[in-house]
Amino acid sequence: MTIHKEGRLLLLVSSIVLVLLNVAIAYFFPERTVLQMVVIIASAILYLLILQFFRNPKITVNHNEGQVLAPADGKVVVIEEAEEKEYFQERRMQVSIFMSPINVHVNRNPASGLVKYFKYHAGQYLVAWHPKSSTDNERTTMVLQLQNGLEILVRQIAGAMARRIKWYVGEGDTVRQGEEFGFIKFGSRVDLYLPLNAEVKVNIGDKTKAGKTIVAELPQS
């Protein structure tokens, strides 16, 4: 288990601020031992909460060109046919994974392939389960072209709390299944748009692990 690079500066600043706060409480209220203890405990809890937001566990990926792996830790909240209007402009099988604040926030490539398309969209910060969050919220869209020619779309979506999306890929990059492609601070949602004849292997409410859980089996061509 390591700390993700996106959280290192925040953790450093948080530790300095919390230490200074506790020193100030002890200095100005030397007789208020109960107050000092409350602030110490609250500071420790807050720091541990921030720390767990940015944990980055090491994983072992079982690479399989015929499978789509979960791009995020979280819970499956949508499995349905939907019109994908940005790139495919046709109906696709949508699988959405909601990332709560207690989940690992690293996003991983669901499959190996070529980044055929990538675009960042500024937008709103509706709650992640809002019907319009996929099209109106801040988001990124990445399309992977697989070795067999199939294309799948991965969309990072910001939410009410998650107001910063990070990505580490661009058009023309070749990516490997299970490797990190981005990060969403403090949770939110990742959507997959798969071929309609993909065999979905998860159900609504299932918990997923990025780079580990098999979301779908792909058709051969």
Q: What is the pLDDT of residues 7-41, one digit of tens each?
A: 788 889 989 999 999 998 888 888 888 888 988 99
Residues 97 and 195 in one domain: yes
In a domain, 99, yes or no: yes
The string of pLDDT tens digits covering residues 87-109 is: 999 999 999 999 888 888 899 99
Is the domain of 24 the same as that of 80? no
Q: Which residues contact 168 (CB under 8 A, 6 or more apart)?
A: 180, 181, 182
Domain presence at residue 22: yes
- What is the model's pLDDT at position 6? 80
Burial label for 101, CB within 10 Å (0-12, 13-18, 19+), is middle
Asked if 129 and 170 sit in the same domain, the reply is yes
Task: List, in sequence order, every residue forming a beta bridge with 150; answer none if it has no partner.
Answer: none
Indicate if 139 and 201 belong to the same structural domain. Answer: yes
Mean pLDDT of the chain: 88
- Nearest one of 26, 107, 27 to 59, comparing CA atoms: 107
* pLDDT attached to residue 163: 59
Evaluate if residue 128 carries a pLDDT over 70.
Answer: no
- pLDDT > 70 in the chain, percent: 90
Considering only residues 136 and 162, tell me which one the structure prediction assigns the higher pLDDT.
136
Q: Which of 10, 28, 56 is the last residue of a domain?
A: 56
Q: Are residues 206 and 167 in the same domain?
A: yes
The DSSP annotation for 83-148 comes to EETTTT-EEEEEEEEEE-TTS--EEE-SS-EEEEEEEEE--B---TTSTTHHHHBSEEEEEEEPTT
Question: Do both 43 and 85 map to the same domain?
Answer: no
pTM of the model: 0.83
Residues 84 and 158 in one domain: yes
> Looking at the domain assignment, is residue 161 inside a domain?
yes
User: Rounded to an integer, what distance in angstroms lies between the CA atom of residue 93 and that of residue 96?
Assistant: 10
Write down the residue that tokens 């100030």 correspond to. 24
Whether residue 61 lies inside any domain: the answer is no
Per residue in 190-217, pLDDT (tens digit) is 999 999 999 999 999 999 999 999 999 9
Q: 62 in a domain, yes or no?
A: no
Judge whether 191 lies within some domain: yes
Instruction: Check which CATH number belongs to the domain holding 138 and give it.
Output: 2.70.70.10
Domain boundary among 56, 80, 96: 56
Residue 45, in any domain of the structure: yes
**Could you give the angle at which helices 5-28 and 33-53 cross, rounded to 10 degrees?**
180
Is 221 assigned a catalytic role? Answer: no
Q: Mark whether 40 and 75 lie in a shared domain.
A: no
Same domain? 147 vs 124: yes
Active-site annotation holder among 15, 100, 188, 221 = 188
d(CA 121, CA 100): 22
Domain count, the chain: 2
Q: What is the pLDDT at residue 89?
A: 94
Of residues 83 and 136, the one with the higher pLDDT is 83
Q: Classify burial at 85, counting beta carbons within 10 Å of its beta carbon; exposed 0-12, middle 13-18, buried 19 or more.
A: exposed
Please tell me the predicted confidence (pLDDT) of residue 154. Answer: 97
Residues 159, 209, single domain; the answer is yes
131 and 75 share one domain: yes
Amino acid at 30: P
- 193 and 156 share a domain? yes
The number of C-alpha atoms within 13 Å of 91 and in the hemisphere containing its C-beta is 6
Q: Which domain holds residue 49?
A: 2-56
Residue 140 near residue 165 (C-beta atoms within 8 A)? yes
Pairwise pLDDT comparison (181 vs 58), residue with the higher score: 181
pLDDT for the residue numbered 164: 76
**Higher-pLDDT residue of 77, 101:** 77
